[in-house]
Amino acid sequence: MSHAPEPRHVLVRPQGGPSPLYLIPYAEQSEALADLDDFTYLVPLDDPELALPEALSEYRPGLEYARALAKHLGAAWVVRYWDERHGTTKFVCWGCDGLHWAAELHPVPPHPVRITMLAEFKWYPLRAEGFGDFAPDDPTAALGLSDDLVAGLYRWAADFDAAMNDYVSARDEDEFDARKRELERVGESLAERLAAELGPGRTVNYLGVV
């Protein structure tokens, strides 16, 4: 019994070269298991294997190019998009324009509507039933937050981790309490922005730092 070939994976990650597209050299392991560092072959935009139309023959920075590429390549390919600002790689769905953490068309669970915001060591800043902790730009949550707010939430969580690491090293209670108060203040502002961007269809419960 024959099986359909596994989709090829292509990474969109501009690094100053003539093309932003990278492939994985053919190997025995599944490309679905590949990491970012496995994409080492720079593929030119006029590569016949991709057969790019004129509209895609010149790279335009941003997510829209990756979405157009995914639509062109279809189900035979998996397009991964490197988000330079947030340091994350996502899968671009060729069927719905969505972004996902895994190569799936429409992952579950449903989008969260009751969201808790909390700074906890080495955890993402957001929580929801059925999701656990999750990133502010998690594609499955579909929050649609602005880039500035996403960056602010990542930074808030990272600053709390740094404060905890410093406390474990120095055991300076006064310094740690001061940094926690500042993080509480910043968190309150971020929570207000989060609630405003999400709108009335979702709720935000801010629990501060632990």
User: Are residues 200 and 123 part of one domain?
Assistant: yes
Sheet holding 8-12, edge to edge: 41-42, 21-23, 8-12, 77-83, 88-92, 99-100
User: Are residues 134 and 178 part of one domain?
Assistant: yes
Structure confidence at residue 1 (pLDDT): 45
**How many residues does the structure list for the chain?**
210
Tell me, yes or no, whether 60 lies in a domain.
Answer: yes
User: Are residues 124 and 54 part of one domain?
Assistant: no
User: Are residues 91 and 26 part of one domain?
Assistant: yes
Number of domains in the chain: 2
Tokens of 47: 């590569």
Range of the domain at 138: 114-209
Q: Give residue 85's pLDDT band: very low, low, confident or very high (50, 70, 90).
A: confident
Where among 48, 76, 100 does a domain terminate? Answer: 100
Tell me, yes or no, whether 175 lies in a domain.
Answer: yes
Over residues 178-200, mean pLDDT: 93
Where among 100, 130, 156 does a domain terminate? Answer: 100
Helix extents (H) in 54-172:
63-73, 147-170
Over residues 3-18, mean pLDDT: 84
User: Are residues 90 and 18 part of one domain?
Assistant: yes
User: Are residues 201 and 119 part of one domain?
Assistant: yes
Between 207 and 3, whose confidence is greater? Answer: 207
Where among 47, 72, 100 does a domain terminate? Answer: 100
User: Are residues 65 and 16 part of one domain?
Assistant: yes
Least confident of 60-64, 99-103, 143-147, 163-167: 99-103
Judge if pTM exceeds 0.85: no
Q: Give residue 178's pLDDT band: very low, low, confident or very high (50, 70, 90).
A: very high
Residue in the structure block whose two tokens are 């992952």: 107
Tell me, yes or no, whether 1 lies in a domain.
Answer: no
Structure confidence at residue 95 (pLDDT): 65
For the chain, the average pLDDT equals 87
Q: Give CA 171 to chain center in angstroms.
A: 34
